[in-house]
Amino acid sequence: MSKPKVLELFYDVVSPYSWLGFEVLLRYKNIWNVDIHLHPALLGGVMHATGNSPPAMVPKKGAYMAKDVERLSEFYQVPLRQPSNFFQVVIKKGSLSAMRFLTAIQMSHPEFLEGVSRELWQRIWSEDKDITEPESLLQAAKKAGMPEDLAQKSLSLMTSPEVKTRLKENTEKALEYGVFGMPSIVAHINEKTELFFGSDRFELLAHHLGEKWLGPVPHKSRL
Amino acid sequence: MSTRKVLELFYDVVSPYSWLGFEVLLRYKNIWNIDIHLRPGFLAGIISESGNAAPALIPNKGAYMFKDLERMAEFYQVPLRLPSDFFHVVIKKGSLSAMRFVTALQMSHPEFLEGVSRELWLRIWSEDKDITEPESILQAAKKAGIPEDLAKKLLSTITSPEIKSKLKENTEIELAKSIKLFGMPSIVAHINDKPELFFGTDRFELLAHRLGEKWLGPVPQKSEL
């Protein structure tokens, strides 16, 4: 077997399409010959730096997106549900503290990064719960099986210069790859990097990796 | 066999993703149990009305789009190539006269709609040729097999009020005020008496799922061998 190809996933838990991309990509972890590197980064930072704006700011696009997310959630089998107050939760409250918390985990306990990311998405994009308060972050960590002392330690580190810098670096690295939104997958193929934006380029990604696309729920399609 | 489901495709030949969507959808014409209705529209009008913006106006997005189109063209097997001066051709010159001509066909000779649309895309999005001059439009019509006198006659009608209003009406979906277009290609699928909007060229797998049909990839004839 040839060396696994590296796929870097840049994501922010404020982004519902990032959740879809995250779950689908991880389902292929042991199906494709790939190494997946998770990079928490700030969507707000990427938007600001590139002059991009959230799709929901165009009303018709926002209406479509709500419908699209609902349909994709069913098709991708990810339990996504709109928060009751989208603008307040997604645009106003945002995800800065959550993404700092994930960055602290990435730096000191990366084995919990996948699980805590998923639990944060569950809160904001499925259960209509807060992800900005310390208590909310601790709840997500607990559900992901992170021992309380480690979670507390990550929480206390999250406003440290090291963590802030690391999150900034993750975001800048994304920008260097040409990222303008999330999720973004950077695939390293034959010593070249290829950027795939969104949760709808998996079939094309598979084609470029020389792998087979088995749909968004590959385990089911193999039965 | 149950009644065919109706899919309406809203497109503009200025849009390269519309070309990809058009070709892929038409490949499924005889594979899925569907009727495809082609609806030429004017993308610049939809974008300005909805407050949307052309993706290429964000530099990183534009750079990505060019790369994405190149990869999608190869994967979808559509001979798409960027015009040498994208902004001039796509943003400045645009497609108004071409889409009016296509609308004239839709009204009086719909049998040529598919062929002429494809020839216009070939000009602007493959051969780096003009689609705004009368001569360019006649060339496309000729390649699609329209007799010259007919093409000239249609061309003379493209600034008539009927054509102008039809082009506008095409994108205003009367049967469902809930469907609002903001870009192209857009597919409106009529499923169980409910219209559903699918935007872009990357929702075919989802569309298939909703139709209860099988997605065989962007080049289904090949995958059936």
Residues of B in contact with A67 (CB under 8 A): 196-197
Q: What are phi and psi of B219, to 5 degrees?
A: -125, 75
CA-based R_g, chain B, Å: 17
> Taken in order B15, B21, B24, B25, is the CA torsion positive or negative?
negative
pLDDT in tens, B131-187: 999 999 999 999 999 999 999 999 999 999 999 999 998 888 755 567 888 999 999
Instruction: With cut-offs at 50, 70 and 90, classify the pLDDT of residue A223.
Output: very low
pLDDT in tens, B69-93: 999 999 999 999 999 999 899 989 9
- Chain A CB within 8 Å of residue B182 CB: yes
CA distances from A53 to A93, A98, A131, B66 (A): 16, 21, 22, 20
CATH of B5-223, one of 3.40.30.10, 3.30.360.10, 1.10.10.10, 3.40.1390.20: 3.40.30.10
- Chain B CB within 8 Å of residue A177 CB: no
Instruction: With cut-offs at 50, 70 and 90, classify the pLDDT of residue A5.
Output: very high
Nearest neighbour of A72 by CB, restricted to B68, B206, B218: B206
Nearest neighbour of A178 by CB, restricted to B60, B72, B181: B60
Cβ-Cβ contacts under 8 Å between A and B: the total is 74
pLDDT at B176: 55
pLDDT in tens, B96-106: 999 999 999 99
Test A59 with B75 for CB contact under 8 angstroms. no
pLDDT at B48: 86
Nearest neighbour of B182 by CB, restricted to A61, A71, A204: A61
Domain ranges of chain B: 5-223
Reading phi first (left if > 0) and then psi (alpha if -120 to 50, else beta), residue B71 is in alpha
Check pLDDT > 60 for residue B223. no
> Exposed e or buried b for every residue in B88-122, given b needs 16+ CB within 10 A?
ebbeebbbbbbbbbbbbbbeeeeebbbbbbbbbbb
Minimal-distance CA residue of chain B relative to A178 = B60
What integer best gives the mean pLDDT of chain A? 95
pLDDT in tens, A186-218: 999 988 999 999 999 999 999 999 999 999 999
d(CA B181, CA A58): 11
pLDDT at B225: 44
d(CA B199, CA B201): 7
Check pLDDT > 60 for residue A222. no
Contacts 24+ apart (CB under 8 A), B178-181: B180/A60, B180/A63, B180/A64, B180/B50, B181/A60, B181/B10, B181/B41, B181/B46, B181/B50
Please state, as a whole number, how many other Cβ atoms lie within 10 Å of the Cβ of residue B45: 16
Amino acid found at A85: N
